[in-house]
Structure 1
Amino acid sequence: MAQLPNIAIIIGSTRDSRFADKPAAWMLKQAQARGDMTVELVDLRDFDLPLFNEMGGNKFVPTQDPAALTWQAKIAEFDGYIFVTAEYNHSVTGALKNALDQAYVEWNRKPMGAIGYGGLGAARAVEHLRNIAVELEMVPVRGAVHIAGGDFMSVHPLGANGPIEDIEDHLLGGAKELLNDIVWWANAAKAAKA
């Protein structure tokens, strides 16, 4: 029997006041309820990544920074990625962009998707993330989860600060599609590599 795909849910914000923990925990729960993958929460706070300062990406030259090497080793463990992202000025957080830049070959030929949150559900950030992923030779999937508008304000601390389960009915369809896509592409990529 083939080994289940190992998927990382990557928290893409490092701010002290971040909201990311709430949707990340919810997405982790959705993924763990399935029997077709293993999943791990990966928090950028746990990796003291400097701003990217290498001669080039590790596709072209070996990485020198020990923190970046630790990050690359962690990322290499996974067959696919789900990024938890806010939207900052129509894009992903600086911390997430820097983390993406700190690896290259580890991302290659693996699926990625996102759960985004904000006024527009981080729709523009998720689209930008997909473009970055293409350059890193990942496979962006169609499915995504967007926590937007009134739903966002009903679960965010600046609003009603309710539990994600209060809006879960609005998110489950997107989450199922995202997880289905990630598993399908992870299995396809693993089979192609074998």
Structure 2
Amino acid sequence: MSDFIYLASQSPRRRQLLEQIGVQHQLLLPDPHEDAESLEAVKAGEAPAHYVQRVTGLKLDAALTRLKALGLSAAPVLCADTTVALGREILGKPVDAAQARAMLARLAGQTHRVLTAIAVQKGRQRHAALSESWVRFSPMTSAQIRAYVESGEPMGKAGAYGVQGRAAAYIEHIRGSYSGIMGLPLFETAQMLRQVGVRC
């Protein structure tokens, strides 16, 4: 049995979720010279489910290279990536407030999908899973959208919102995995970690 895992993610929400199911973890983050952002580039015509799984695989490959280069002790490595999809269109992290407002204006009054891919590797053994959920936003006025964007919460989040934050005031309905929408589907994560000998 493994006492801990490496989490290759900057997301504080993923850390909280692992703590929720009692998984000890250490962060395995990119060095400043690593071009981590380029891994998230979308290919032309790429379907959201394919995109999020491909990016997660690339992140895991990069994390394993990092682990080897740093000479750290062996333990399972967990990666995840979350994307918001409106139809076949991928809504990533907004680059600025204007883009965040535009994304939220499109999500308001609509149902969209949230896809979170996870992958874990221990030695040569790799497991991967995809969590798909649906979120319906109520209509929002431009003043409501502006106020939410000014709170700063949408920045750095796929689709320009955080389900666990102030956006909850506009979320009418959720179908699927709440933790998956947050960024780490706990049911699938626990299943995969048990497969590589981690207690949950």
Higher strand share: 2
TM-score range, shorter chain: 0.3 to 0.5
Tell which has more relative contact order, 1 or 2 (C-alpha 8 A, sep 6+). 2
TM-score normalised to structure 2 length = 0.39
Bigger CA radius of gyration: 2
